């Protein structure tokens, strides 16, 4: 269940194996991707360089990233559809 801005939760479909791997090491409550044991979500800054490198590895360099809006928020919106 994902909490949204309007406070209405909704289910996000995830493959069972991926869910097990992601939640296996997660804190008992709170955020899965976190730096403070689930109290708050991970900050964008530590993730950003890795995302940019992954996109560049797929031959999507800076200009196409900007043009296509491929920041972390774009992936968040995709997961929450």
pLDDT, tens digit (0-9, with 9 covering 90-100), for 39-77: 888 888 888 899 889 988 999 888 988 888 887 777 665
Interatomic CA distance for residues 39 and 56, integer angstroms: 32
pLDDT digits (tens, 9 = 90+) for 15-39: 889 888 877 877 776 677 888 888 8
pLDDT at 77: 53
Cα–Cα distance list, 49 to 22, 24, 26, 66, 77 (Å) = 21, 25, 23, 14, 19
The structure's pTM equals 0.53
Q: Where are the domains of the chain?
A: 1-42, 43-81
What contacts 61, CB < 8 A, 6 or more positions away?
55
């Amino acid at each position: 269940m994902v909490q949204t801005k309007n406070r209405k939760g909704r289910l996000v479909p995830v493959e069972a194996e991926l869910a097990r791997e992601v939640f296996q090491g997660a804190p008992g409550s709170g955020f899965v991707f976190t730096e403070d044991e689930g109290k708050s979500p991970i900050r964008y800054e530590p993730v950003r360089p890795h995302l940019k490198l992954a996109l560049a590895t797929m031959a999507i360099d800076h200009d196409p990233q900007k043009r296509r809006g491929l920041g972390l928020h774009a992936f968040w919106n995709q997961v929450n559809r």
